Amino acid sequence: MFTAVIFDLDGTLIDSAQDVRYALNKLLIAHKCQEIDSDRIYGYLKQGIRWLIKTAFLQSKKILHDDSIKELIEEYLLNYQAEPITRTKIYPGVIETLSLLKKQEIKLGICTNKPSIMTHIILDKLQLLSFFGAIVAAEDTVLLKPHPEHIYETILKMDIKLGSPVVMVGDSDNDIVAARNANIPVIAAKYGYSGAAIARLEPDASIDDFFSLPIALKQIYHSIAKQTLGS
């Protein structure tokens, strides 16, 4: 099997969209901007916190510059830290499947564009932190997904060599493209924020729920083995 599996966080392991929305809307209200409704928030969660806040303010025709975004990020993070998991849910099958992979001595890591402080707080409060040997969030690397450097940094922190059999699991375009750029196979989580539309990017496999992950891993591994033997 694979030496390691790298996971995206939001939309893959957890659904944190409504807690993000709550913290963001508190910020928007404080600055007299239009709130984001519960359905639209999912389209705001791919590019990291800076993009999230800039885009949210832009809908009220407020253009943010670099000199003002830092204070707004700090304000947003204070809002988020006040209620980090009130509305957040772990997807079905995550705990059971991560436990199974650990028993098989497969190393597990997280590669996320989410702020580092919130990533660690949320994983700790959800009692998921102990599953992962490496967590690489937004401030932990210069270049974020879809750049492959973000995945490379995660692999190095997992204490495995580049070139080892590793697979990425994620729900967004950024995850699929980052894995392709890093030249590793990728599994698309169709239950996540992008829904079934993620399959258009032709990942190596797709899963409808987290319980299906072990089967998808085996399918990809056997497919790679056949290609290797065939060559």
CATH number at residue 10: 3.40.50.1000
Domain span at residue 48? 17-82
The letter for the amino acid at 116 is S
The whole-number average pLDDT for the span 30-48 is 91
- Choose one of 33, 61, 82: the last residue of a domain: 82
- Asked whether residue 76 falls in the same domain as residue 179, the answer is no
- Asked whether residue 112 falls in the same domain as residue 167, the answer is yes
- Asked whether residue 126 falls in the same domain as residue 69, the answer is no
Give catalytic status of residue 8 as yes or no: yes
pLDDT for 66 equals 78
Backbone angles phi, psi at 151, to 5 degrees: -70, -40
- Asked whether residue 161 falls in the same domain as residue 193, the answer is yes
**Is pTM beyond 0.75 here?**
yes
Q: Strand runs (DSSP E) across the chain, as ranges?
A: 4-7, 14-15, 89-90, 107-111, 134-136, 166-170, 186-189, 205-207
Catalytic residue among 8, 171, 175, 204: 8
149-187, pLDDT tens digit by residue? 999 999 999 998 778 899 999 999 999 999 999 999 999
Specify the DSSP class assigned to residue 40: G
More confident site: 91 or 61:
91
- The Cα–Cα gap between 76 and 193 comes to 21
- Asked whether residue 95 falls in the same domain as residue 171, the answer is yes
- Choose one of 82, 117, 137: the last residue of a domain: 82
- Asked whether residue 133 falls in the same domain as residue 152, the answer is yes
- Asked whether residue 76 falls in the same domain as residue 121, the answer is no
- The Cα–Cα gap between 91 and 212 comes to 12
105-123, pLDDT tens digit by residue? 999 999 999 999 999 999 9
- Asked whether residue 55 falls in the same domain as residue 134, the answer is no
Please give, one letter per residue, the 3-state secondary structure of 192-229.
CCCHHHHHHHCCCEEECCHHHHHHHHHHHHHHHHHHHH
- Asked whether residue 63 falls in the same domain as residue 11, the answer is no
- Domains in the chain, number: 2
- Asked whether residue 40 falls in the same domain as residue 65, the answer is yes
CATH number at residue 37: 1.10.150
- Asked whether residue 46 falls in the same domain as residue 147, the answer is no
- Choose one of 82, 101, 132: the last residue of a domain: 82
Strand partners, 166: 4
- Asked whether residue 37 falls in the same domain as residue 109, the answer is no
